Structure formats: structure tokens, C-alpha cells
Structure 1
Amino acid sequence: MGTHVIKMPDIGEGIAQVELVEWFVKVGDLIAEDQVVADVMTDKATVEIPSPVSGKVMALGGQPGEVMSVGSELIRIEVEGNGNHVDAPQAKAAETPPASQAPKQAAQEQPVPATLTPPASRPAAPLAPRQASDKPLASPAVRKRALDAGIELRYVHGSGPAGRILHEDLDAFLSQPQRAGEQPPSGYAKRTDSEQVPVIGLRRKIAQRMQDAKRRVAHFSYVEEIDVTALEALRQQLNSKHGQDRGKLTLLPFLVRALVVALRDFPQINATYDDEAQVITRHGAVHVGIATQGDNGLMVPVLRHAEAGNLWANAAEIARVANAARTNKASREELSGSTITLTSLGALGGIVSTPVVNTPEVAIVGVNRMVERPVVVDGQIMVRKMMNLSSSFDHRVVDGMDAALFIQAVRSLLEQPACLFVE
């Protein structure tokens, strides 16, 4: 038998260190060739590390959250044949635990069932709680005392007539040790529990990027109200006519189109700023970052060359890259290179927000929720579909007047949607 060592691979782009996010194997596991053993994260994306060999896991080179250098030992595998690594005798002996310790270590690794309780505190015959719909019988004084103590009466055995709960029953209940799984926390019960959540992986990257953006960027936000009644009518008409064969349109591709057209007159906003080199790059291509919330946190996949796509092409690509981000399948290329970002929380968008600029970009456009409300139009009160855009800019690069004029241009295009398609 031999030893094969997998070292942290060179992922490219000049990256010297990566963060170990998650192990998919443990010591003692038998693994197959090409099986993914770990996830690591660069500044831009999560990368899967497969095993090039089959064998048995001997040792893991780090813990989740640890930053590891390229070339450092990631995992050690016992394989048939000579392997690719030879240990010094003393080092190999030091890494092999004594046989007497193996059973103890294996026992410690076994998960403890959540329902187990020490025998001394486990009741011999626990009482089944009443159904939530069964109202316990108790006097107002007993109910008040139970409320103050944070006790749900349906968990208390009543010894009075017809099962009525007495003060003595509360005393007996309070004297019992707490039993696992029998009483959920009451809304008024005192809690002393806490939970520590390591900030690793994507959450760490998000925290670092947000902190860096707020520290380095001179943020200012601008909010404008938009009447999207005509836009919504157009969207519904297009979906009714072409939805079956071209796909349904959401609001996002219309917003993307409005950005593309408005940016023609505001090239300083479709830009990135290298503040270390003191260079602003104005981009002809409009690569729109689509802020996407996944199970692991916020990611920004990129709709590339939005200026060259029609509504349906952009809608399909937005759906594709957003789904790739949500399922952690987006590549580094799909998560980098945006020139302006669009962020929307849909129905949860609220009235106003202050989005954080996605550096090195200089602008982010935030979409708030759409609501119907009365609006005065030509002296008449009418019900209109209204929506706010809450946008933020890097004041080092974008002047306040230019930002306001840009958003007003977007507003004009959305309120008169035919202008979106006039060349």
C-alpha cells in the first residue's frame, strides 16, 4: 500500500490562497476516482476538488474556514501501489494512532441521537400533551400563573375534576426536570441558549466585500418614483401573445433594456474604478450583475453583453445565470466582470433601500416593490402602478447631477416603454 497526497491546486488568476469551505469525506472513508472531496473558495467562486485516485482517506489537511496556500497538503489517501508520496519513518509513525485509541476515536465520531436524554432524567411514563385544539381546563388564576411562568397548559397534567389544572399541578410540573422533546419554548419563556455560527466560505466573502465597499466607496443614494402602469400593460400583453413560444417575461429584462439605452448618454456610469491605480475604465459593453440570493448568501452572476440581447434573450440568460448561482454551479467567469449591478427583492423590496455599490463598479440600481395607489394625473385622482428605484453611486466617480439625470432617463424610458425600442 502507498500514500497519495492531494495538494491544493493552482486555480489560476494568480490566486495564492483559497479558503477551505467544506469537506465531503472524513478520515476512514473509501473514496472513488473523480469523487469530490472538498469545496474551496476563491475571491470569486466556489471550486470543487476531486480526487484523482481511489483509496482510503488517511488525513485531512485543514478545517472548514481555514485559509490554505496553493501547494499545501489538502488530503492524504491510502492507495494500492506506491502512491506519490513517501513519509519519513518517524513522521509516519507519529501520524498513525495507537491501536488502543482507534475504538475511542471512532466512538467519538458517532453522532448522538438528538432524542437521547440521560437515564436519570428520562421519565418512566411521560404524559402525552393535549392536542393544540383541546383547551385545557383551568381557573383564571392558574392561567395567569402559567403565562407568567412561560408554561403551555396543554403540557400540564390536570388532577382536578374533568382534568382541571390546579395550582398543585403547576407546582408538580415546575418541579420536574426539563424533558427533551416534550415542551417547545413558549413565547414568554426565558431563554439562555446561544449559537455560534462561524463566518466562513461565501458568508465570509460577502462580509469582506461589503466591508471593503463601505470603507472605500463614497456612497450616495438617489430614490425616484416611477409610474409603471404602461410598462406592466405591455409586459402582460407580450406574455399573453408570446409567452408560450418565447417564455414569460418578468420586469427584469425591461429594466435591463432601460439601463442599456440610458447608459448610451451616461458612459461615466457604466464604468469600473481601480482606486489603487487611480484609473476609471468606461465600458462599451453593458455587463449587468444580477444580485441573486441563494441558500448560502448573496451572489452576483453576470448577464454579459446586455446591449446585444432582446427582451427574451436577456430574460433567458438572467434565469440561467441566476439559477446557476442559487445552485452553486456558477463558474468564476459567470460571477465576475460586471459593469453595473441590478438588485431586486421583488415583493419584499420595500419602499426605499440603500444598496451597496458592487466594487469596482460605480453604480447599482435597486428595484423596490410595485404597488397600486391613488395618484394625481392631470388634476384627476387615478389608481396607478407605482414603483421606486433606489440607486447608489460612487461619488468619487459619479457626480450627483449625473446620477439624477441618469435615473430620470431610466424613469422616462420605463414610463413610456415604446421608447425602449426606438433606435
Structure 2
Amino acid sequence: MRYGINPQQMKATARPSGPGGLPFRVVNGAPSYINVLDALNGWQLVREASATLGRPAAASFKHVSPAGAALAGELDEVTAGLHGVAGAELSGIASAYLRARDADPKSSYGDFVALSHPVDAQLAELLAGMVCDGVIAPGYEPGTVERLSRKKKGAFLVLEADPAFVAPATEVRDVFGVRLEQDRDQVEISPEVLKVATGGALPPEAVRDLLLGLSVLRHTQSNSVCYVRDGLTLGIGAGQQSRVDCTRLAGAKTDTWWLRRHPAVRALEFAPGVRAQDRINWQIRFVEGDLTADESARFADALTGPAPELTARDRSEWLARLTDVSFASDGFLPFRDNIDHAHRHGVTRVAEPGGSIRSGDVEAACRELGITLVWTGLRLFHH
């Protein structure tokens, strides 16, 4: 590999841990240590989600956790307009990736792309215009590798996953002179794990969203939670020591995703030459509403006219319209505060392992707030 986690760790290699060889081959570029971690985690996520839900899946990875993940589906006007594909007929895998990247487009800047299906010409052309570090997919249609290989002055990383690869039953890791070994988590995530503890029966779209959420969390650094709606993640909270901090972080990202669809944000008119990523970043800062004096001046320069008004009342009324959001947690919810915070972001269904000493409090909170609670019996920690 080019280097390890940091450039000063120059000696870094990737080799098979079992007799089956590597689960991918390098088609273009040279991977770094983190590239490989992102690729392997991302490929497992999209392969699992696609197999479980029967649709193409995509994920946008940064620092070994997904910034967003989604199934193939229709793009709303905001996502389509952002990528210049309004009115276009998209392939399943192209729509899946654009939906995944739009979940948290600020974090997805410079991401690693993971795809459950081969890259087609349409997606290759879209990727060519985006800032990303590499892609892993089970195949590439003719001409797509050549198109992608021109990115980053030829250094864009293209990996081809082996769909037939079967990982060893045991995982091994060396840390500070200690070798850790464990069984690989091979439990199947299926509708059978969703057991309603309180609330009504789950409609098909809720089953889909909760299963997608569980697949995402299985490959996200713990503690982790995610908000899911319409087959795409709206907010992912990863790697926090406190679960409620994950819930609040992912909830804030969910609010940002929804507020980017507010008419005032969509009415922002940017000056010619303002790049797409800069437009995204300004939209997000406008939504957050706490621009510094320097930012306010630069924001004004980026627009062709005054920014529309977006008051606290406007925000509150718009956020109140978000509903039918599903929420999944990789570990049990230790207190009802997670439910209270999740409810603020349109959550109507929650999936968690259950079994904490305060599960009764969590269940009571769900009944009080009209949330359907699902116990999975599965802890999906990932470190």
C-alpha cells in the first residue's frame, strides 16, 4: 500500500488472511491503509443491504464509517438539481449513490464510494465530476474504468470486489503486541429480527428502512445510531462514547437534510462560478444560522442577491413536517432520553436490541410518544 494510517507509517501491506486470496483486485491507483478499510467496510455494507432488500445499494464512506447509505430510488428535486440530473432517467446504482451522498454531502467530500452493482457509464460520468478518493464495485461496464482512471491525475483508486469471496470464519487483529481473535459476526439481518415490543404492525416501508439502518450500523464505528426514511439515511451518528450524543448528532444531521429542502434554502441564488461543493457548504451554514462576520461577508459575495429570510419560527414549522422516520441503534438504549431526542426529528419507529435495565422506561416513552418500538435482540457493535 502507499502508506499506513498516516504518511509517516510508510511500510504498509495488505495480504490475504486465509486461503481464498483478497476480496478485491486493484484496477487503478494504489490504496492506502484507510482506503482499504473504507473499501472493505463499504463493500460489506452494500452487499448485505442489497441482498437483504433486493435493490441496488450504495454507501459514501469517510474514516471507516458511512457518511450516507441508500437503496436505489427516486431522487427528490433537491438532490437531482444539485447533481444536474433533473428530469433524467437514472440507473438504479446511479440513483442509489446520489441518494447516499446527499445524506451528508459536506462529510461526503473526498469520500470512498461503495456500490453493490457494477459501475455503468452514467454513474462513471457523475463520479468523474465529484471529489472522491476511490470506488469499490463488483464490476465495471466497458469504458468506465478508463473514464474514472483520469481522475486525480490518474491516481483515482478503482477496486473490483469479488462477489464470490467468502471471508474466513475467524477475525484476527494485532494491537500493541496483542493478537485478538474472534468469530466473525455472521448473523443474518432479516425481517425476522424485527419483533414489535409496543405499537402497531410495521408497514413494508418501515421494515425496509429499519433493515437498511441495521445493515448500516453493522459497519459503522460504535456507538452508532442512524435515522432512515424512504430507503436512505438522513443522519448517522458514529463513534461517540455516549449513545445519546450519537442520537443528538445524527438528529442534527437529519434536521439539516430536511431544512435543505426548505423553500428559502432552495431560493438561494449563487453567483456563476461558485462550485457545487461550495454551494452545499453555504446551504448548510445558512441552515445552521450561526455564520461568523467573515462568513456572512463571503456568503453575500457568493450570492447574486440578498439571502431569503429563514427565521427560527420558519425552521421550527418546517421541522415539524418531517415524519415517518425510522431510527436504529447498534446497542440497547440505556435511557429514555434517546427516545425523547429521536422524537424531535420525526421518528415514528425505533429498532434497538432491548434488554437494558431501563427497557421498561424506553418502552413507556415510545407508548407515550406514539412510537413503534422494535426489539431485535442483536447488538451490532463495530470497532
Please state which structure has a larger fraction of its residues in strand. 1
TM over 0.5: no
Q: TM-score range by the shorter chain?
A: under 0.3
TM-score scaled by length of structure 2: 0.24
